[in-house]
Structure 1
C-alpha cells in the first residue's frame, strides 16, 4: 500500500533563533531527523548504495556550514535544510536530484594540463 503525504507533511514554520545555542539545538535536531530517515529515503527513492554512504553524505552537507556564526545565516540554512527534508520525504525530488549529491564522488578527475585535455579530446 502506497503512502500518500499531504502538502503540510514534514512542514515546519521558519523561526529566528534567539541564541547561538538555540540554533545549534535546531541544527542537531534537523541532522538527527535526516539520519533517522535514511532507510526510508533509500527505499522511497530506490537508492542503490550503502546506507553508510548516504549517512556520510548527509554529514558532509552539514559539515560544510559548521563554522557559520551569523545567526541570520544559520536560520536561513536551517530553513533550506528543512525544505530539503520535506521535498525529499514527500517525493517532490526525483531520483536524479538525490543522486546529484553523489555525482562528485563518482566523477573521474578532469584533465589539468593541455596534453591531458588534448588526449581526452577537449583541447
Structure 2
C-alpha cells in the first residue's frame, strides 16, 4: 500500500510541475496587486480634489481671518499654483504625505492658528518679481558693501 507522500510525489512528477518552481508569497506581496494600487491612486486623487475644493471655498474666510488685503481671486490662483507644483507626483505614499501636510495647513489657516507670515509665504515669489526702483536711494540701499 502506498502512503500519501508517495502518491503526492508521483502526482507532481506526472503533472510536469516542479517543486522548485513554486515560490511562496509573503502576506505583503499578496496585498501588492495592481487592483489595489489603482484603488489607492484613485482614492488619493479624490482626496486631493476634496482638499483643493476646501481651500478654494475657504479662501475668502482665510483672508478675512488673517486680515489680508490680497484679493480672493489672487489667493485662489496661488492655491491653484501650489497644487499644480505637485501634480507630477505619482508615488501614493508621497501623495499621502503631502495630503497630510495640506490638511494640517488648511486647519491652521481656517481656525486661525497660523501666523500672518505663514499665510503670505506663497506670495513671496510673486512680490519679489516687482520691478526694481531706479532712484538713487533705492540703488544705494540695495548695494552690497
Greater Rg by CA: 2
Distance 1:63 1:108, change over 3 A: closer
What are the ranges of 5 or more consecutive residues in structure 1 without an aligned counterpart?
1-16, 112-117
Could you say which residue in structure 2 is the equivalent of 1:115? none
Could you say which residue in structure 2 is the equivalent of 1:122? 144
Aligned equivalents of 1:40, 1:105: Cα separation in 2: 22
Aligned equivalents of 2:129, 2:41: Cα separation in 1: 40
Task: Encode CA deviations 1:52-101: one digit per residue, 9 max, x unaligned.
Answer: 10000001110110010000000000000000001111111111211121
What are the ranges of 5 or more consecutive residues in structure 2 without an aligned counterpart?
1-37, 133-138
Is 1:50 equivalent to 2:71 in the alignment?
Answer: yes
Aligned equivalents of 2:143, 2:72: Cα separation in 1: 37
- Give the alignment of 1:11-30 within 5 angstroms: 18-30=39-51
1:108 Cα deviation (Å)? 4.2
The 10-residue stretch of structure 1 (100-109 or 31-40) with the greater mean CA deviation from structure 2: 100-109
Aligned equivalents of 1:98, 1:56: Cα separation in 2: 14
Could you say which residue in structure 2 is the equivalent of 1:95? 116
Aligned equivalents of 1:64, 1:31: Cα separation in 2: 13
What root-mean-square deviation, in Å, do the aligned CA atoms of Structure 1 and Structure 2 show?
Answer: 2.3
Aligned equivalents of 2:111, 2:70: Cα separation in 1: 21
Larger RCO (CA under 8 A, 6+ residues apart):
1
Equivalent residue pairs, number: 101
Whichever structure has more helix as a proportion of its residues is 2
Aligned equivalents of 1:101, 1:37: Cα separation in 2: 16
Aligned equivalents of 2:129, 2:143: Cα separation in 1: 15
Report the secondary structure of 1:43's partner residue: helix
